[in-house]
Amino acid sequence: MKIGVFDSGLGGLTVVRAMTEVIKGAQIFYVADTKNAPYGEKTPEQILQYSLNITKYLINTHEIDALILACNTATSSAIKELREMYPSLIIIGTEPGIKPAIEQTTTGKIGVLATPATLQGDKYKQLTQALSMQKSVDIYEQACPGLVEQIEKGEIDSEETQALLEKWLLPMRENNVDTIVLGCTHYPLVSQHIENIMNCNVSLIHTGNAISRHLLSLGTQKGHFNEGDLQVHIHTTGTIQIQIIDSIIKKYENIHFIEIENN
């Protein structure tokens, strides 16, 4: 099975990391669109065009069997059009894990950290509205402008990143939030800081494992045998912080790099 995965930068590699623990006998072609990062502060029209360009590249160049939108923002802006354009392709998007958060919370207080575009998107609003009707919960939403850029620059442990997280998380801590949805695939990279700032037993919800299991199920239905070696090929549209990759996918042997265009 040939699997295309893309995100605005390196955050989607947290999904790839989860896939390496589940998927075998496949090739993963990951595109980090670092030239156009972050998607969370672009218009829906721009994000759609970036997504279409990358998908065409992955199909034309690598003949992929499955496409993973490892980006909440791209999923909100592009997945509907992509599924209409490529009905025979396995296409899996990324959504904030509101449902598992509602199932896990004991205080009924849920926090959501996400990009501005994700929180403003219709898909997210429809999801939260539908799920909140199933159980009475209080949802504390927090847009995190600038956090993706900090992570992409390798400033995960910087004082500036710490200060941003403390400002955003203070209302959640004061309101007894016990479950936080990481609504961007970059955010698991600062999960340790989030746990430290919350200073309690907080559950962090991200979707890499669920995506991997769903991909395996759909791939198996189409004849994929989950045996053999897995290769990961990382493609970028701009500069990339190599040291961050090692922190996400540690010592993975079959990683190859190539730079592509996405205008």
Residues 200 and 131 placed together within one structural domain of the fold: yes
Same domain, 127 and 144: yes
Confidence grade of residue 73 (pLDDT, cut at 50, 70, 90): confident
pLDDT above 90 (res 10): no
Can you tell me the distance from the alpha carbon of 163 to that of 146, in angstroms, rounded to the nearest whole number?
12
- Tens digits of per-residue pLDDT, 137-173? 999 999 999 998 898 888 999 999 999 999 999 999 9
194, 230: one domain: no
Please count the structural domains in the chain: 2
Nearest Cα to 134, choosing from 99, 97, 179? Answer: 99
Question: Which of 122, 207, 134, 196 is closest to 165 using CA atoms?
Answer: 196
The CATH number of whichever domain residue 221 belongs to comes to 3.40.50.1860
Helices H / strands E in the chain, number of each: 11, 10
Q: Each residue of 238-262: pLDDT tens digit?
A: 877 666 666 666 544 455 667 777 7
DSSP string, 127-191: HHHHHHTTS--EEEEEE-TTHHHHHHTT-TTSHHHHHHHHHHHHHHHHTT--EEEEESTTGGGGH
Q: Are residues 114 and 199 in the same domain?
A: yes
pLDDT of residue 118: 84
Q: Kindly state whether residues 173 and 103 are assigned to the same domain.
A: yes
pLDDT in tens, 11-56: 898 999 899 999 999 999 999 998 898 887 789 999 999 999 999 9
**Which structural domain range is residue 28 located in?**
2-94+208-259
User: What pLDDT shows up at residue 96?
Assistant: 86
pLDDT averaged over the chain? 89
d(CA 222, CA 8): 29
Rounded to two decimals, the pTM is 0.84
Dihedrals phi, psi of 188, to nearest 5 degrees: -60, -20
Given 164, 190, 205, which residue is the final one in a domain? Answer: 205
Tell which of 183, 205, 227 closes a domain: 205
Are 81 and 105 found together in one domain?
Answer: no
Between CA 65 and CA 122 the distance in angstroms is 28
Q: What is the pLDDT, as a whole number, of residue 116? A: 86
Please name the residues in contact with 232: beta carbons below 8 A apart, sequence gap of 6 or more. Answer: 16, 20, 27, 28, 30, 249, 252, 254, 255, 256
215 and 191 together in one domain: no
* Shared domain check, 15 and 62: yes
Same domain, 235 and 156: no
Residues 6+ apart with CB under 8 A from 113: 142, 144, 168, 180, 181, 182, 183, 184, 187, 194
User: Considering 189, 205, 221, which residue would you say is the last residue of a domain?
Assistant: 205
CA atoms of 6 and 53, how far apart (whole Å): 11
Residues 115 and 152 in one domain: yes
Over the stretch 196-238, which tens digit does the pLDDT of each residue have? 999 878 999 988 989 999 999 999 999 999 999 998 888 888 8
Q: What residues act catalytically? A: 71, 184
Q: Per residue in 86-134, pLDDT tens?
A: 999 999 999 888 989 999 999 999 999 998 888 888 878 888 888 878 8
Same domain membership, residue 201 and residue 79: no
Q: Say if residue 80 is in the same domain as residue 152.
A: no
